[in-house]
Structure 1
């Protein structure tokens, strides 16, 4: 029996970091749009234009160091764990979709815990708080490491797990809907030809792009409510319980607020998902060529 190909645990984190470098300005715009309260809805371009006019073009890459730290903790663990669990489940043949979905959600939870400190720093440095709060209440982190040190100094080790409940929920939803659905779409498209045009995809760049774009659409829709709620909690000038923020927003804006910023979220997450999986698949291909089983 041929030996199964294995890959480094950290490979997914590298692919996710490469994708984050490309889509960071879109991530910043999405977060800023989600923190705008009220019924008026500024456009994506107005948010970008305001950012550039007030702080220059470099402001679109505010918080990139925290974003990369998050990818090398959160995404590294969630992608690496999923591949490890999937390998175990596949010993006796291809596992059913339900088992892979559960594996993706468990891996997402592990990644959510590992990436929580970097996730909180990333939201702060993306100006979720700095863009909304008055100057005297802003964080002013210069980079991810200094922000991490300051967070521990000011709040202690418990500060590393600030917002863990909301972030963990989002991580489970994200990995289940993004990684789980990508695996499902990829497997389905390999087994069945595309309808109408009757074209059979092969395991190549086109397949990875189509499957990841579909996965990005599913992930954006599933994660939108938790994403908006997390951004609202971070932008608040005082500590609030998630349920209180949810009730207040529903009362003032209606249920549509749960999907506020869906378009910029998809514009960011769609390309990010495509790039992440394309980079990840190419890294796997390169590793397999360099270090065959």
Structure 2
């Protein structure tokens, strides 16, 4: 017995094998949201163009407005102002998705965060993005609404860069901040409703057990988010479009614009263009989030292939 104990004591003591610590998941590139939004907005641009023209010029009916555009400028006219859309998405949307992710860290909004924390993070992101993206928003609206005006009132910008250059030259640097109040307010509403609604609905749908984290839940959550965002943002969107579409010489203050619109059209003017806005925002919201999720999957696949995860 003693020999057995001695032989056992003489055996080398081995420590348990080292367990390699799991690598922390790397953050996704900050520009993914901007790319996803640019792709989506390019596809739905004709609907966005129609919405802006109805809000800014008083066209009645979505179909009538589309027919008017095709009649006066051809099918190609449905893509008037596309460079403004690109500029806007790669400034405003790029900033809002980046700021939303950073804001969620600040407020502690994790995977199963309550709706109010997500809305707070979305509001913070919207305020930042609305300010940064105002020049792009302004040029996009002017490019889209220009051909709906009488020839003598058109600005005739060649593209978004030409528009920015001419605005600064003809109206001064302060013109780039035109309509920034309604734009920031709308951006806060949009991100608090769209981004927060998507994250919240996605989490709740996954909890039901009927969904997996795939395209089905992405489409369902984004459909709800698109409807919520359209309704919440409609009043600010109408006011923003009317202020931004006017040149400096025609300009009125936000209060004067609201007062005049109430007097001439009644309170329902705030929901004018809701149908084309929903028709545009709904597929755009679905396309943005589905594209973004696929881009994230592509990044994950690339990282795995390179052995980074």
TM-score between both structures, scaled by the size of structure 2:
0.86
Matches within 5 A, 1:69-88: 69-88=87-106
Asked if residue 183 in structure 1 is aligned to residue 211 in structure 2, the reply is: no
Q: Is 1:209 matched up with 2:219?
A: yes
Aligned residue in 2 for 1:102: 120
Which residue does the alignment assign to 1:131? 148
Q: How does 1:1-293 map to 2 (within 5 A)?
A: 2-37=23-58, 42-90=60-108, 94-127=112-145, 129-132=146-149, 134-193=150-209, 200-236=210-246, 238-292=250-304, 293=309
Contact kept in structure 2, 1:5 and 1:288, CA below 8 Å: no
After alignment, is 261-270 or 157-166 more displaced? 157-166
CA shift at 1:234, angstroms? 2.9
Q: In structure 2, how many angstroms separate the alpha carbons of the residues matched to 1:107 and 1:229?
A: 21
Q: Which residue of structure 2 lines up, in the alignment, with residue 197 of structure 1?
A: none
Q: Distance in 2 between matches of 1:152 and 1:43?
A: 35
Deviation at residue 252 of structure 1 after TM alignment: 1.9
Q: Structure 1 166/88 Cα, relative in aligned 2: closer, same or farther at 3 Å?
A: closer
**Separation in 1, partners of 2:119, 2:75:** 40
**Residues in 2 aligned to 1:236 and 1:69: alpha-carbon distance in whole angstroms:** 20
**Compared with structure 1, are the counterparts of its residues 154 and 215 closer, same or farther at alpha carbon in structure 2 (3 Å cutoff)?**
same
Question: Are the aligned partners of 2:62 and 2:276 in contact in 1 as well (CA < 8 Å)?
Answer: yes
Cα distance between partner residues in 1 of 2:107 and 2:234: 30
Q: How far off its partner does 1:35 sit?
A: 2.3
Cα 1:92–1:121 change in 2 (3 A) is closer
RMSD: 1.8
Report the equivalent of 2:5. none
Preserved contact between residue 117 and residue 148 of structure 1 (Cα < 8 Å) = yes
State the 1:240 CA deviation: 0.7
- Kindly indicate whether the alpha-carbon contact (under 8 Å) linking 1:9 and 1:81 is maintained by their aligned counterparts in 2: no
Q: 1:172 to 1:5 in 2, by over 3 A?
A: same
Aligned length: 282
Stretches of structure 2 that go unaligned for 5 or more consecutive residues are 1-21
Gaps (5+ residues) in structure 1? 194-199
CA gap 1:235/1:91 in 2 versus in 1, 3 angstroms: closer
Structure 1 position 156, deviation (Å): 2.6
TM-score, normalised to structure 1, is 0.91
Question: Residue in 1 aligned with 2:9?
Answer: none
- Taking a change above 3 Å as real, the CA distance of residues 157 and 65 of structure 1, as seen in their structure-2 partners, is same
Report how far residue 249 of structure 1 moved: 1.4
Distance 2:254 2:119 in 1: 26
Distance 1:168 1:4, change over 3 A: same
The one-character-per-residue Cα deviations of 1:31-57 (angstroms, maximum 9, x if unpaired) are 1112244xxx62211111111111111
Change (3 A) 1:100 1:91: closer
Q: Is the 8 A contact 1:25 1:61 kept in 2?
A: yes
